[in-house]
Structure 1
Amino acid sequence: MPGELKDAVPVVPLHEWKGAAGRLSKLGGSTGRPDFVVRVPGRVNLIGEHVDYCGYGVFPMAIEQDVFVAVRLVQSGRGSGPPRLILTNTATDQYPPFSCAIKDVREHLSLRRPGESPPWHLYYLCGVLGVLESLGLEGKLEGDTSFEVVVDGRVPPRAGLSSSSALVCAAALTTLVANKGDMTRSDLASLCAQSERHIGTQGGGMDQAIAFLATAGTAQRIEFLPTLSGEKVTLPPSAVFVIANSLVEANKAASDGYNVRVAECRLATWVLAKALGVADFLSLEKVKELQVALGVSLDEMVALVEKHVRKEAYSAAEIAAVLCLPVATLAEKPLMNRIPLENLKLKLYHRITHVLKEAARVAEFHTACCSPSVDLARLGGLMNASHTSLRDLYECSHPRLDELVGLAQGMAYGARLTGAGWGGCMVALCDEGQLAPFLEGLKNKYYSSEGDEGIQKHVFVTQPGAGASILE
């Protein structure tokens, strides 16, 4: 059992979770009581967007909304074929059932159609495949034990709150438990970050890290280099964080936008490294790796970008010329071969400038939270600056998100998009005195067409929640 390993995912009595009995009944369905249940939370990132895949730290916390997964091990009998994975979602009207032989998981993932929103079961298969690979069991499971899995997700989908990554993490954890594997929380987080890339997006690991490392009552300052680590940070007691859904669905796996941003940051790293005479610059994958190699500060990195990376967009041919590479060779590089590189105008200056200044904002936000005299206006100002940068430099916001963030100005200390963007949610910071008028303002000015239930359905106040657990 993973809970027996030091720093493993904790094993928690099922009755400790609010509403667990009702959910267990719902999860059991017609298959009877499950052999075990796992729970993985969603998350909200307070600041530090689009920097994890560049190697820089982030500042998320787990939320109450979560994914519950119940697993029942079923003896299918001799002659019934290889072990199967049988998936059911409690929201069957949105997420149809799926079943396949476990040996065929990789094949089903390979059938994913780029440019389309992946069906929900593919995210589950990512987690399954990641653990089977790690345990050396891919294609090797024998016997007559199949896995009946029922999923109950409470994280709003396509809202930038990590519903997809929570499902990947839950799938990995259930597969680990079912196969009696051992893995630390950090190792599981890293494995899930890698395995989610089977879906096509080149994420950086924040969502998976907070899913496993979160602790109730604290946010986390998560760093990725030189290794994954998390520092618990107690948020100011006077701070209230409100999450509001823009009602614009965001799915980073359904388009090239996310991967293009990752590629632009890598290209900016190469262009800057080449200009500075860094040997073997093509081995660099993250902006922070270059910063560490140069031994300079974030401010000094910004100055180097100003000097060596032009503000105008580049074509692929222009970047190839700077790097002294044939365009075809550049287009075949890992990650570059996942996007329509030669058809894009690549805004390297804008992207890397956002990353460096956002990394500095994360550090300042952390310092401000740890200060004996907390200034909520300072924290809010950093959140506002983050959103402005995401809107103007990273160009990953949406007009409805901008409207929502704009409404928060004057009613809250600050607000910003949270998650990858292009829709999804805003997170706003206020205090107890601002909360009621803020919620009323959102109800009247943004959710008026949703009726009286709109504010209850699409807006919630959140506190730092616990990370993944195995429930017994």
Structure 2
Amino acid sequence: MTRPLDAKELAARFEGVFGAAPDGVWQAPGRVNLIGEHTDYNEGFVLPFAIDRTARVAVRVRPDSAIRMLSTFGNQGLTTADARSLDRATARGWTKYPLGVIWALQQRGLNIPGLDLLLDSDVPRGAGLSSSHAIECAVISALNELTAASLGAEDMVLATQRAENDFVGAPTGIMDQSASLRATAGHAVFLDCRDQSVRLVPFDADSAGLVLLVIDTRVSHSHADGGYAARRESCELGAEVLGVRALRDVGLEDLEEASGLLDAETFRRVRHVVTENDRVLQAVELLDTAGPGAIGPLLDASHASMRDDFEISCAELDLAVEAARTAGAIGARMTGGGFGGSAIALTPAGSAQRVRTAVERAFAEAGYAAPGIFSVRPAAGARRLA
């Protein structure tokens, strides 16, 4: 990946492309979900944090309704659209994310003008680190300011969720954009997805002598495909049969009864969500009291649950987790929606290189593409840069 452009460089590139300076430059981070997978759309608990890799947009409002967009990556040229007639069916590639945000804001009754936009991002795409939400959150932050919409963080979260669900066609919850918009440096975001309440939980791996490694398997995934939607449908079926509003309302003590009411597959899906919610609560308590070094077993248990009960892992993710644990990580799990993407490994700083080498060797021996491995730290949320 090429070096990301800073705000001054992106503004200069924008001016070279569009012939005038942008009105400003905004950025929003990707995220790693520390624990709490597929609990968000079940009105449960999640514990993500924003990472120090971001999407940056230079934006200028136009006097007409024309939309012109370009990115610094890939081979997709200048894309044009009309703010008065956005078409979900024809939106392609990364441009469907800013177009979805514009559409969602229009659905809220806001008058969104035409604009010129240049995107630069160093959030790996298809890696389960929410590169799409980083784009959306950068764009909505820019438009919120440029149009004086005065939306709060909670409103921007819901608007970007609508963009994902109804424009992009991905049935996602509110975790990713909540992390991108509401995070602070050095903290994880403990989010209650039922009421959007947030508590920032200290997560200082450095002080504990730990590193959080991201292992990008290079297996691309998409939330708009059928696997994610099928899991969500299973959860909705489970809630309906059990007579609850959402699986958030099912406790560990209810699982024995649930096993007699649900078919085997639906029960496994339900069991994952119920136990994962409990693991999030345990992780928050341990971070508050014992620190990051205590959550390793919860990460391991989360991965086993996603692999066996929710069945969203893949051979590359399982190998990454196994190799990292064998080489010294104190806990590891896949992160994100599944079916590819990334794993995370919480690793003693002194063992980080050994873990990297072990994972790379394991992938090579299995004949898989070389993984991307890098460390991340909890970073600040979306903001204006210039």
The answer to whether the 8 Å contact 1:365/1:379 transfers is yes
1:99 maps to a residue whose letter is T
> So what's the TM-score if we normalise by structure 2?
0.91
Which residue number in structure 1 is paired with residue 85 of structure 2?
104
Q: Which residue of 2 aligns with 1:422?
A: 339
Which amino acid counterpart does residue 284 of structure 2 have in structure 1?
Answer: H
| 1:52 CA drift (Å) | 0.4
- Residues 439-454 of structure 1 aligned to structure 2 (within 5 Å): 439-446=356-363
Aligned-pair identity in percent equals 28
SS class of match (2:295): helix
Match of 2:375 in 1: 461
| Aligned pair partner of 2:253 in 300, 303, 306 | 300
Any conservation in 1 of the 2:7–2:25 contact (CA below 8 Å)?
Answer: no
Shift of residue 27, structure 1, vs aligned partner: 4.0
Describe the shift of the 1:449–1:388 C-alpha distance in structure 2 as closer, same or farther (beyond 3 A). Answer: closer
Say whether residues 1:163 and 2:80 are aligned partners.
no
1:131–1:176 CA contact under 8 A, matched in 2: no
In the alignment, the residues of structure 1 paired with residue 200 and residue 337 of structure 2 have an alpha-carbon distance, to the nearest angstrom, of: 23
Change beyond 3 A, Cα 1:375–1:173: closer
1:449 shift after superposition: 10
- Assess, with a 3 A threshold, how the Cα gap between structure 1 residues 425 and 28 changes in structure 2: closer, same or farther: farther
Greater strand share, structure number: 2
Q: Counterpart in 1 of 2:169?
A: 200
The 1-side partners of 2:240 and 2:114 are apart by 47
- Matched residue SS, 2:114: strand
Which residue of the other structure, out of 179, 185, 196, is the alignment partner of 1:216? 185
Rg larger in structure: 1
Read off the aligned partner of 1:88 and give its amino acid letter: L
Partner of 1:381: 297
Deviation for aligned residue 1:176: 2.2
Distance between the aligned counterparts of 2:258 and 2:66, measured in 1?
Answer: 52
1:357 is matched with which residue: 268, 271, 275? 275
Cα deviation per residue 1:422-460 (whole Å; 9 max; x = unaligned)?
Answer: 00111110111221221222333336899xxx67xx111
CA contact (8 A) 2:39 2:276 kept: yes
Aligned residue for 1:46? 34
Are the equivalent residues in 2 in contact too, given 1:131–1:175 (CA < 8 A)? no
Unaligned 5+ segments in structure 1 are 1-16, 76-81, 113-117, 274-280, 292-297, 312-346
Residues 110, 149 of structure 2: 8 Å contact kept? no
Listed one character per residue, the Cα deviations across residues 109-161 of structure 1 (whole Å, up to 9, x for unaligned) are 1446xxxxx52211221111112222443xxx6xxx63111111211001100
1:260 alignment partner in structure 2: 230
Q: Secondary structure at the match of 1:247?
A: coil
Task: Return the alpha-carbon distance in structure 1 between the equivalents of residues 23 and 119 of structure 2.
Answer: 14
- From 59, 71, 90, the equivalent of 1:89 is 71
CA offsets 1:175-209 (integer angstroms, 9 cap, x no match): 22232210111221122112211211211110011
Distance 1:19 1:37 in 2: 9
Specify the code of the residue in structure 1 equivalent to 2:193.
Answer: F
Q: Unmatched 5+ residue regions in structure 2? A: none
> C-alpha separation between the residues in 2 aligned to 1:245 and 1:375?
22
The corresponding residue for 1:129 is 103
Structure 1 residues 53, 402: CA separation in 2 closer, same or farther (over 3 Å shift)?
A: same
1: distance between equivalents of 2:212 and 2:13?
31
Q: Deviations over 1:341-400 (max 9, x none)?
A: xxxxxx2111111000011111111111111x4472x41111111111111111111111
CA drift of 1:18 comes to 8.8
- 8 Å CA contact retained: 1:38, 1:468: yes
The CA distance in 2 between the partners of 1:47 and 1:384, in whole Å, is 10
Deviations 1:203-236 (A, max 9, x none): 11100110110101111111122x1021111125
1:184-333 matched pairs, under 5 angstroms: 184-198=152-166, 199-225=168-194, 227-236=195-204, 237-238=207-208, 239-253=210-224, 255-273=225-243, 284=245, 286-288=246-248, 290-291=249-250, 298-311=251-264
**In structure 1, distance between residues paired with 2:77 and 2:11:** 20
How many Å separate the matches in 2 of 1:449 and 1:299?
38
**1:366 paired to 2:284:** yes
Give CA-to-partner distance per residue, 1:8-39, whole Å, 9 cap, x none. Answer: xxxxxxxxx99433333334432232111110
With normalisation by structure 1, the TM-score equals 0.75
Give the letter for the 2:88 counterpart: L
Aligned residues: 376
Question: What secondary structure does 2:271 align onto?
Answer: helix
- CA 1:22–1:443: 2 relative to 1, 3 Å: farther
AA at the equivalent of 1:379: I
Q: 1:96 to 1:260 in 2, by over 3 A?
A: farther
**Runs of 4+ that moved beyond 6 A:** none
* 1:61 counterpart SS class: strand
Q: In structure 1, what is the equivalent of residue 94 of structure 2?
A: 120
Change beyond 3 A, Cα 1:233–1:224: same
Q: In 1, are the aligned partners of 2:52 and 2:377 still within 8 Å (CA)?
A: yes
Cα distance in structure 1, aligned partners of 2:13 and 2:214: 27
